[in-house]
């Protein structure tokens, strides 16, 4: 039975949310965007690396697919990866149509190479300001298109609303007014959870609230143990953890330890262009052997003119701290970057709740497997955002298949205590220390216990209460720790000291859902 067409509520304004809104508008729907900050405030704005597509000579969607599967360490959903690689050129064409000013060389779009890509296929705009260029272009189109926008408006809760869509409670934070949107499709495009960790490249609002709210409403989540750590963020006390894109390594920069020695050739055949999880753990090992919490990225071999033209934002940032990357080594260390898991969806963005869709980093499509291939994240928002928009135009019933291992977790019996935002600092430190780049069984168990205790303290008591920021953070953190404790192997971004190797018996996804309350006997 088909769902009736209704005008969607899109929660979030990164690349996925803006693109879905634009495509819905073009298809005759009247979407509304709600976003907890300003329209342009999202992680998309700060994406440096670029966006991947097989559009160059000697490249093909088949090669892009193969690289995606290889990086995903045996856990990539092959249908999702084929779709991503096949649709990439068309989605790039859509961005060009919207006016994104991709960098060119001799009249053609310039293509760079990044780690784990077998061909140059990374498009950039403004050098290392690709996300900013895309965000500004899509924002302008949204404003010109007359799409309804509610800024400084946060999603508070969801409840199942049957085939017509969920009931969404949103709050306008400026005046505190709460508004309920009933029986309309909801598209979660709320981004990831990277800022739950103490050391992160993410913006402050990336706290995994969309995941927590969907889980409480009964949606299935999956792959929560796979949190990607970017190998190279600028490291200096008192400075932000500014991302130093791996495209610099694609241009020839190398990683050296405190003694000035390269160490990546001994860690992987692809050296500095190995998958992100491999590079992050290799740096972590070098840091453990030294008395300083960083290694160095050496870009001095790249000609100065090319370095400053290709990476203007990074060079400007480093100069603020007295570092000229054409002559000085850059102190770097791994930090939290990307949430691979999230709300489980099918290839059309449908979740397990009728009328609830998800796209972008909040979604778990299986396309990244256990370790995301660099520059596939912006692309994912476009490819699956297009699928969501098409399904909203022509709805039909459907839901993603359940992962091969699904755990049903009991509802939290909350006390509804007043939230203390200072506890977020302790939560973020606990995640970083115990559920970080290298994980131990004792650390995972201790972290899970701490998060579940905190969740009980701040979860609203009774039914119908909307959780606050700390309760949502505690729930999402506990889902990450729970899945990491369950997966007794090391694979991709998930590494355990007690199970340091991949196990074929774990070539499957872990799903987590809320256990239905037991029925009372009459």
The closest of 42, 36, 40 to 150, measured between CA atoms, is 36
- Structure-token pair, residue 180: 């309920």
For residue 58, being part of any structural domain is answered with no
328 plus 242 within the same structural domain: yes
Tell me the CATH number at 496.
1.20.58.100
The predicted structure's pLDDT at residue 419: 78
413 plus 501 within the same structural domain: yes
Q: How many CB atoms lie within 10 A of CB 20?
A: 31
Backbone torsion region of residue 492, taken as left when φ is above 0, otherwise alpha when ψ lies between -120 and 50, otherwise beta: left
Rounded Cα distance between 396 and 342, Å, is: 23
498 plus 420 within the same structural domain: yes
The count of domains in the chain is: 2
Rounded Cα distance between 73 and 344, Å, is: 19
Rounded Cα distance between 295 and 143, Å, is: 44
- Structure-token pair, residue 397: 């019933």
For residue 101, being part of any structural domain is answered with no
Sign, CA dihedral 387-382-203-375, equals positive
For residue 266, being part of any structural domain is answered with yes
The closest of 398, 417, 500, 511 to 455, measured between CA atoms, is 417
330-339 and 227-234 beta bridge pairing: antiparallel
327 plus 421 within the same structural domain: no
For residue 500, being part of any structural domain is answered with yes
The CA-CA-CA angle for residues 474, 479, 480, to 5°, reads 100
522 noted as active-site residue: no
Which entry of 276, 487, 491, 513 is annotated as an active-site residue?
276
Question: What Cα–Cα distance (Å) separates residue 452 from each residue in 68, 91, 439, 468, 510?
Answer: 35, 41, 18, 15, 19
Q: Residue 285's domain spans which residues?
A: 232-335
Q: What is the distance of C-alpha 300 from the center of its chain?
A: 31
- Among 281, 304, 335, the domain boundary falls at 335
510 plus 407 within the same structural domain: yes
- Structure-token pair, residue 127: 């050098």
For residue 304, being part of any structural domain is answered with yes
316 plus 417 within the same structural domain: no
For residue 199, being part of any structural domain is answered with no
- Among 301, 316, 335, the domain boundary falls at 335
The predicted structure's pLDDT at residue 462: 58
For residue 32, being part of any structural domain is answered with no
Rounded Cα distance between 431 and 194, Å, is: 10
Tell me the CATH number at 266.
3.90.700.10
Question: What Cα–Cα distance (Å) separates residue 223 from each residue in 38, 170, 316, 485?
Answer: 30, 27, 37, 12
Residue ranges, the chain, pLDDT below 50 = 1-5
- Among 335, 352, 377, the domain boundary falls at 335
The predicted structure's pLDDT at residue 339: 96
For residue 237, being part of any structural domain is answered with yes
Rounded Cα distance between 353 and 197, Å, is: 29
The predicted structure's pLDDT at residue 3: 45
């Amino acid at each position: 039975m088909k769902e009736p067409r209704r005008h969607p509520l899109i929660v979030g304004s990164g690349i996925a949310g803006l693109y879905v809104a634009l495509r819905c508008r073009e298809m005759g729907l009247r979407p509304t965007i709600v976003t907890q900050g300003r329209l342009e405030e999202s992680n998309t704005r700060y994406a440096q690396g670029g966006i991947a597509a097989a559009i160059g000579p000697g490249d093909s969607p088949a090669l892009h697919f193969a690289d995606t599967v290889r990086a995903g360490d045996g856990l990539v959903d092959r249908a999702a990866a084929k779709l991503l690689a096949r649709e990439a050129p068309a989605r790039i064409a859509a961005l060009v149509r919207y006016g994104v000013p991709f960098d060119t060389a001799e009249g053609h779009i310039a293509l760079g190479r990044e780690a784990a890509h077998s061909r140059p296929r990374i498009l950039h705009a403004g050098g290392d300001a690709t996300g900013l260029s895309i965000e500004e272009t899509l924002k302008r189109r949204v404003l010109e298109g007359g799409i309804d926008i509610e800024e400084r408006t946060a999603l508070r809760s969801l409840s199942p609303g049957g085939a017509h869509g969920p009931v969404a409670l949103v709050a306008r934070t400026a005046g505190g007014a709460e508004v309920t949107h009933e029986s309309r499709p909801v598209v979660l495009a709320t981004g990831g959870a990277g800022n739950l960790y103490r050391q992160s490249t993410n913006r402050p609002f990336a706290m995994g609230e969309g995941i927590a709210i969907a889980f409480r409403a009964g949606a299935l989540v999956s792959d929560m143990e796979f949190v990607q750590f970017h190998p190279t963020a600028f490291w200096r006390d008192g400075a932000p953890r500014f991302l130093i894109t791996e495209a610099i390594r694609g241009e020839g920069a190398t990683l050296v330890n405190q003694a000035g020695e390269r160490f990546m050739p001994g860690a992987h055949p692809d050296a500095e262009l190995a998958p992100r999880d491999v590079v992050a753990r290799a740096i972590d090992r070098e840091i453990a052997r030294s008395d300083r919490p960083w290694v160095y990225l050496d870009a001095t071999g790249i000609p100065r003119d090319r370095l400053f033209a290709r990476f203007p934002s990074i060079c400007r940032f480093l100069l603020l701290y007295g570092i000229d990357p054409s002559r000085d080594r850059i102190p770097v260390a791994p930090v939290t970057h990307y949430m691979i898991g999230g709300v489980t969806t099918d290839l059309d963005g449908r979740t397990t709740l009728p009328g609830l869709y998800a796209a972008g980093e909040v979604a778990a499509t299986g396309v990244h497997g256990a370790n995301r291939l660099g520059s596939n994240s912006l692309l994912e928002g476009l490819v699956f955002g297009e699928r969501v928009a098409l399904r909203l135009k022509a709805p039909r019933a459907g839901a993603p298949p359940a992962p091969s291992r699904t755990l049903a977790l009991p509802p939290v019996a909350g006390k509804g205590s007043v939230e203390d935002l200072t506890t977020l600092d302790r939560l973020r430190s606990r995640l970083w220390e115990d559920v970080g780049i290298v994980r131990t069984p004792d650390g995972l168990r201790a972290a899970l216990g701490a998060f579940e205790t905190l969740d009980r303290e701040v979860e609203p008591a009774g039914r119908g209460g909307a959780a606050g920021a700390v309760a949502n953070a505690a729930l999402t953190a506990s889902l990450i720790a729970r899945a990491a404790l369950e997966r007794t192997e090391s694979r991709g971004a998930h590494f355990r000291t007690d199970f340091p190797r991949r196990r074929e018996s774990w070539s499957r996804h872990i799903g987590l859902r809320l256990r239905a309350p037991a029925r009372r006997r009459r």
